[in-house]
Every structure is written in structure tokens, then in C-alpha cells.
Amino acid sequence: MSALSDLVYAQGLSSEADIEWLHRLAGDGQLLADLAFADIVVWVPTNDDSFVAVAHTRPGGAATLFYRDIVGDLVRPQWRTQVREAFTHARIVDSASPDWFEETPTRVRAVPIVRERATADRPPTVVGVLTRHTNLGEARTPSRQQITFNDCADDLFGMVAAADFPDLTAPTSPRRGAPRASDGLIRLDVDGITTFASPNALSAFNRLGFEDELEGESLLEMASAILPAKREYDESLPIVMAGRAPWRADLEARGVTVSLRTIPLRDQGARIGAIVLCRDVTEIRHQEQELITKDATIREIHHRVKNNLQTVASLLRIQSRRTHSEDARDALTQAMRRVSAIAVVHDTLSAGLAQDVDFDEVFNQVMKLVAEVAASPNTRARTLKSGTFGTLPSEYATPLALALTELVTNAVEHGLADKEGEVEIIAARSDDRLEVRVRDNGVGLPEGQVGRGLGTQIVRTLIQGELSGTIDWHTITGSGTEVTIDIPLRYIDRAAH
């Protein structure tokens, strides 16, 4: 749960819909701060008739007023009346005179965060207050870009107070390289004509092949002129470039990719224009494509390794059936089972992009390999599993799967040989360790002696050498054997990162 959710839930005054609205607004806090050249703070009411800060964003192109984190702090007395008035009356309230904060003159604007507009039978739903804190100590003659940025910020603040921003139809979780105000900003009028283009935005479109000035041009017509004639493009691109929907799209030409994000501007619900943020993401998209190609290659390798291992296991099975020596047949069967256990992990890795595996799923497939041993004529073994292993990185999944295959197989073959019984596998995972116990109710270890066979050596090598863990064999009071594996998760976490 996020810090914002924790703070809001602590007040007990907001619904899930209110919290979602606040999350979406806080997600665009950096955009608002960069456009306003000011600190942006989000406040929610408390149980004792005050307000607490639940989000704070510092501007990227101006000095911040709050060098210390104020999230979780109560509203200061000099702002309380202004914030309460904005919240109570659902209207924007500006400070009447400069407010001094730590010897710095500031201007404060309080904007009600409205989720639902007023209707004939109910008032507007105000879920909090957004405050803009402008540092007046660095006041200088504003440039045309700064004036446009401030106008855009004012339009968005008005939309926040009118329940028009954030827009829940806009996509969340943007791709890497999402454009910011400083990357490039274009202001469109209601007809999609460019009224302002920042230098960075103009540079991005010049790299695409557009050599003239953007201002006065239709962004959509300009894009149509530079796009390759016979190339497929995102169907949402025309709507994005016309400023009609709060969507995202990529514009590609001449080997350059520019990411676009459109924010329609509204006044009393009527569209008055749009902000188009743009960023040259050519290198980022190339990196993403390389990662996709590498991921696909890795998955194909895992798939082929799995197929090759299954082929080896099949050859070992055929060879074991043709041999006349009982010892040789057992050795080949055990080798076949070990190879198959490794193949299970590669099969799981070939199904997804991540190099982490759900080990509970892997273990369930490994248990099928032991089923043949449990189904021998004179042995009736039942396997039980409790607890969860969770997700493990591939370099740990393979040795653990092979070790558990050995332990469960040994428990069935030796502990329950020619009798009926159970083998229980208990997994317990905490933040810093993974403990696995393999317990049977068979004959137990003879005089407490640990076996010295190949299987025992393999298990020791895998657990102690590969996983930096510990393993302990002991006889259960009465009968049966229990093997305890303890693996420190700090090594697993390090490998995952």
C-alpha cells in the first residue's frame, strides 16, 4: 500500500473511488509542478477538522520551497483558513498578499479537488485540496514559454476544481520515456492548430523531418505530411495529434520515434484546446526492442534446452529398459529422473519473459516424476505438500528442484520400500529464509546414519554449494526420517536484483 493510501485510510473519511482519484492526480503532480514552476501539495481532511499532506511534488525548473519532506504533516496555520475555504466552498482561493515561508515570499493558491460535480440534489464531491506554492524570491521577467506554461497550469487547476482532471479514461502505467513538460510542450487551440511550441518540441519534430515552424500549423496535417505513405501507424495517432482524447501514441519517421501525450483542456466541460507533450524516445524504443528480442531468444533457448533434456531422458529410459543388469537399470532410471527434473524448470522458464519461476508450479510437476517410484508393485506412497515456496530466480529453482527430487525419491525408495506410507513436504517462507522439510513415516535412518550414496552427495552439493544453505537428516521419534533444508533468502534476493 502506498504512503498516500496509508495516510488517507488513517483519516477514515474517503472511499475507494476518492483514493483512486487522488492517486491519479498525484501521478500527474510532476506535470503540474513543472507547468506552474511551483511546489504542488495535496491535502485531505482529518478527523480533527484540519488537513494532512498526502503528496508533494517539487518543480523541475524552479527552486523548491520545501527542502524537507512535508508528507504526513498537518497544514500550517497560515494556510489552514485558505485550504478550508477551498474545500468547503469548492472554489479556487488565492492568497490576498504574499505569504512568508521561512523568510521567503511566496504566493499560495488553494484548488479544491472535485471528483463529481454538483447536481440539482447534491453538492460537489470534494475529496481534498491541492495547493500551489510559488517562490516569489526568484521573480524575474517571465519568458513566453513560462507564461504559456503558467496558463496551461491555470487551465489544469480549473479542470481539477471542475472534476475534469484527472481523466479516468486516460491510460495509466505509461511506457518508459513518458514525455514531461520540459521535454517538449505544444499548445493547440480547439481546432488543433498550434498556438505555441517549446524549443524542445520544435527540435523533436525537426528530427522527424518537419523543417518549418510549428506555430500556426495543424499538428495532424503536419504529421500526415511527414509520415511514410505506405507504413502502418497507431490508429489512435490522429485523435492524439488533434488534441481530442487524453491518450498516448508514438510518431515514427526517418528512424526517429517521438512519444506523444495529449491532455485535452476544458472550461465548464467544453473543450477549449489541448496540451501535447512530446519527447524523442528513439534510443529508449531501440533498447526496448532489443530487450524484447533478447527475451524471445532466451525463451527459445529454454524451450530447446527443455526439448533436448527430454530427448536425453527418453534415451536413458529406452536404455534402462534394454539393460539386463538391475543396478545399471536403477542408475539409468535415476539419471533419467534427474534430467527430467532440470527439464521441468526450463519448461517453466520458456513460458514467460521473466527469469523467475513459480516454484510451487515447478514442484507439482516434479512430483509427477516421483509418481513412477511410488507406483512400484510393493510400495504404496502418498505425497502431501503444505505451505508455499513462492517465486524463485532460475539459478536457484534448478538446484532446489533437483535436490527435492532426490530427497522425495529416496524417501519413497528407501524409507517406504515395500510398504504403505506418506511423504510430506512442508515449505515455510519468510522474509529472510526458505525452510523445506521432507518427512516420511518409513523405517527411519539405520542407527541415525546418513547415507553416503550418489543421491546424498548430489543433495549436499546442491544445497550447500549452489544455494549456500544447510541440510540436516535426523530420525523422527518412533519411526521415519525428516530432512530439513534451510536456504537464506538474502542470496536469492541478491541474485534476483
Element (H, E) at 371: helix 359-374
With cell 475534469, the residue in question is 164
Which residues does 266 contact at the CB level (< 8 Å), separation at least 6? Answer: 159, 162, 164, 272
- Give the residue from 410, 417, 415, 493 showing the smallest Cα distance to 458: 410
pTM greater than 0.75: no
Tell me phi and psi for residue 137, to 5 degrees: -70, -20
**Is residue 281 within 8 Å of 257, Cβ to Cβ?**
yes
What pLDDT score was predicted for residue 229?
67
Sequence-distant contacts of 171-174: CB under 8 A, at least 24 apart: 171/247, 171/248, 172/24, 172/27, 174/248, 174/261
Whole-number Å distance between alpha carbons of 259 and 277:
8
With cell 484540519, the residue in question is 50
Query: Between the CA of residue 474 and those of 70, 407, 455, 482, what are the distances in Å?
Result: 56, 13, 17, 6
Whole-number Å distance between alpha carbons of 145 and 81:
33
The per-residue pLDDT for range 361-383, each reduced to its tens digit, is 888 887 776 666 555 666 677 78
Q: Which residues of the chain have pLDDT under 50?
A: 1, 495-497
**Is residue 409 within 8 Å of 448, Cβ to Cβ?**
no
Burial of 24 (0-12, 13-18, 19+ CB in 10 A): middle
Whole-number Å distance between alpha carbons of 111 and 156:
10
SS3 221: helix
User: Could you write out the DSSP letters of every residue in 13-82?
Assistant: ---HHHHHHHHHHHHTHHHHHHHHTSEEEEEEE-TTS-EEEEEEE--SSS--S-SS--TTPBPPHHHHHH
What pLDDT score was predicted for residue 175?
60
